[in-house]
Structure 1
Amino acid sequence: MPVPVHAGDCWDAQKRCTVMSVKEARRALAEGVAACPHCRPDAALGMLELAGTTGWGDEP
C-alpha cells in the first residue's frame, strides 16, 4: 500500500516518504493515493473534489 501524500511540513510524514513535485502529488491524489488526514494536501492543492476521500475510512 502506498504511503499517503503529505504536505511538505506535515508532522506525520514518515521516514519512507520522498519529495515529489506539485504535479506528481496532484497525479497521485487523482489516481487514488490517500491524502494525509492531518495536513490535507488535497485541500491545499485545490483538489477539493477529492478532499472527502482520504482513504482513511472517512468516505461519505
Structure 2
Amino acid sequence: MFDDLPPDLERLLPLKVWHAMWLARIDDEIADLQRRKAEREYGRRVRPARPEWIVQLGIGTGRPPVQVHAGDCYAAGNRRRSVDRGEARRLLASGLPACLHCQPDIELRTLD
C-alpha cells in the first residue's frame, strides 16, 4: 500500500523520530491554543461590568472631579472613578462640565 517508504531500517527509524518530533510540536501548539482560549473565556466571565457613568478626576491634592462621562466614553482619562446615575446627575447639576463627546447631560436629562 505505501511502497514509497524506504525498505531499510536505517532510513525508517529517523523518519519515525522526525514524525514523532513534529507530532509533539503540533500537540504542544494545540495545547497552547486551547490554554489561551480558556484564558480568554475566563477573562470574559470574570470581567467586571462596565460602569454606567464615570467621573474623570483631576491632578493634585484630593483629585477633584473634572468632567462627567458615560461609562463607555473613549475620551475619559485614566484617572477616573465610577458613579451611579444619581451622583452623576448631582455633579452635573452642581456645575461640573459634561463630556462633549459622549454628552452624558443629554442622557441624564440635566441640560439647562
TM bucket (normalised to shorter chain) is 0.7 to 0.9
Per the alignment, residue 27 of structure 1 pairs with 90
Q: % of aligned pairs identical?
A: 51
Bigger relative CO (Cα 8 Å, ≥ 6 apart): 1
Number of aligned residue pairs: 49
More helix by share: 2
Q: CA deviation at 1:27?
A: 0.3
Q: Which has the larger radius of gyration?
A: 2
Partner deviation per Cα, 1:3-60 (whole Å, 9 max, x = no partner): 21000110101110110000000000000011001100000111122xxxxxxxxxxx
Task: Point out where structure 2 has 5 or more consecutive residues left out of the alignment.
Answer: 1-63
Task: Point out where structure 1 has 5 or more consecutive residues left out of the alignment.
Answer: 50-60
Moved over 3 A (4+): none
Per the alignment, residue 38 of structure 1 pairs with 101
